[in-house]
Amino acid sequence: MNRIVAEKMGSRRGLLSALALAAALGLAGCESIDDMLFGTSDEEPKYPTPASSEQPAGGTPGAPAMQATMQAPMAMPMAARGSVITPVAIAPGSDTGTGVSKTIQQLRGQIENLENHLGANAQRLADIRNANASSAGAYQEDKAHIMAHLQLGTTRGNPELISQWNGAQAALDQMSSNINTLNALGTDVTSDSSAAHFALDSIVATFNISGAVDEDHRQLAVLEDETNQTIVLVDRLLKDVSDDIQRQTAYVANERANLTTLANGIKNGELYSSDLSSMSMMSAAAPMAMGPGGVVAVVHFDRKNPNYQQSLYASLNQALASRPGANFEIVAVSPTRGSAAAVQIAQTTAKRHAQEVLRAMTDMGVPASRLAISSSTDPAISAGEVRVFLR
């Protein structure tokens, strides 16, 4: 059973890490403009990087860092502005000497391991958010100085403004790097969510194994409740990570455009806009001709780890070729068959799959501001699926 969970987690990690690398390449798209106007900058960054238990891409995680991650405190603040995730304390249980008792001990160990991951991942999110806040402050400070100087009037290609522009770009680059770190965190939390649901299924199945005593079933019932609580916390953390990815991706994309406008202003010594952010908001809110729309892609999750990225990318390319300003709606569709509990589990699973598709689309370069997510049911299907509609 452990081997199955490990393979499942490893497969998702490899797939989403590749998407995170694609996002990293897409988010660093203005280097040619920077080099053309100013050349490269050797200034030291003035913002911290988020603490991480992993080495940079291409390295190998170190044993001490991994140990520190696993021994994280039980209560981890997610951020100053967010809530606190407190992992569930897993109650111990005595060995009754039955074969079922040994299975319960293995399952309890898996849930305890997930709780350690939950605390460590919550701390990782807090570190990334703090680093983003510092980088955003540094960026806005440099941007404000440039705009104020241009407003008063200055010379063309003022070296002082160029230095501040390079500092703003470095801060924005750090925020882009943090988005890739968020993607990696989302991969890990998704793996933990899958492992938690798998453990819950195993606990429910263990109730039906013969040879158990009453104490075994009592411990199983307690462990089932603890696992359900763990799933709620893991899914909440996954949602927070996904929301941060969308928000930061949209922010960085907008500010890349603002930096380009500022670069032209510095080059000519003129302020081309008194409020760059309002220009971006007006552009994003501009009305577009809405057609009848239609299904762009359908991702079926009737098997584990479906390979849908290539076909989804082709479908999105085709849709954007005909409507470059199109928006998309991602709908989590779940079946309605079975008991009320089964329907509820199917809806939760479908929503989790929709979050995965949303992250895949942002990694492919679709602006988060053009994406919306919702849920629905369909009695005609037997397994959950995600449908992408053109809006």
Quickly list DSSP for 95-109.
--SSHHHHHHHHHHH
Which of residues 372 and 269 earns the better pLDDT score? 372
pLDDT average, residue stretch 35-48: 44
Amino acid identity for residue 381 in this structure: I
Amino acid identity for residue 101 in this structure: S
CATH number of the 288-391 domain: 3.30.1330.60
77-88, pLDDT tens digit by residue?
333 444 567 888
β-strands 385-390, 371-377: how paired? unpaired
Confidence at residue 293, expressed as pLDDT on a 0 to 100 scale: 52
User: Does 153 score more than 50 pLDDT?
Assistant: yes
Strands of 257-301 (E only): list them: 294-300
User: Does 303 score more than 50 pLDDT?
Assistant: yes
User: Does 330 score more than 90 pLDDT?
Assistant: yes
Confidence at residue 261, expressed as pLDDT on a 0 to 100 scale: 77
Confidence at residue 133, expressed as pLDDT on a 0 to 100 scale: 92
238-265, pLDDT tens digit by residue?
889 988 998 888 888 888 878 887 887 8
Taken in order 285, 288, 291, 293, the sign of the CA dihedral is negative
Confidence at residue 298, expressed as pLDDT on a 0 to 100 scale: 92
90-99 CB contacts, 8 Å cutoff, 24+ apart: 90/115, 90/223, 90/226, 91/222, 91/223, 91/226, 93/219, 93/222, 93/223, 94/215, 96/213, 96/215, 96/216, 98/211, 98/212, 98/213, 98/216, 99/209, 99/211
225-239, pLDDT tens digit by residue?
999 999 999 989 988
User: Does 355 score more than 70 pLDDT?
Assistant: yes
| Contact between residue 358 and residue 332 where contact means Cβ atoms under 8 Å apart | no
Q: Place 391 in a pLDDT band, splitting at 50, 70 and 90.
A: confident
Cα(152)–Cα(154) distance, rounded to whole angstroms? Answer: 7
How many percent of the chain have pLDDT more than 70?
73
Which of residues 279 and 90 earns the better pLDDT score? 90
User: Does 312 score more than 60 pLDDT?
Assistant: yes
Among residues 155, 164, 163, 147, which one has the least CA distance to residue 269? 155
Mean pLDDT of the chain: 75
Domain ranges of the chain: 2-58+66-286, 288-391
Cα(345)–Cα(327) distance, rounded to whole angstroms? Answer: 29
Confidence at residue 294, expressed as pLDDT on a 0 to 100 scale: 80
Confidence at residue 50, expressed as pLDDT on a 0 to 100 scale: 53
Q: Is the pTM of this model over 0.75?
A: no
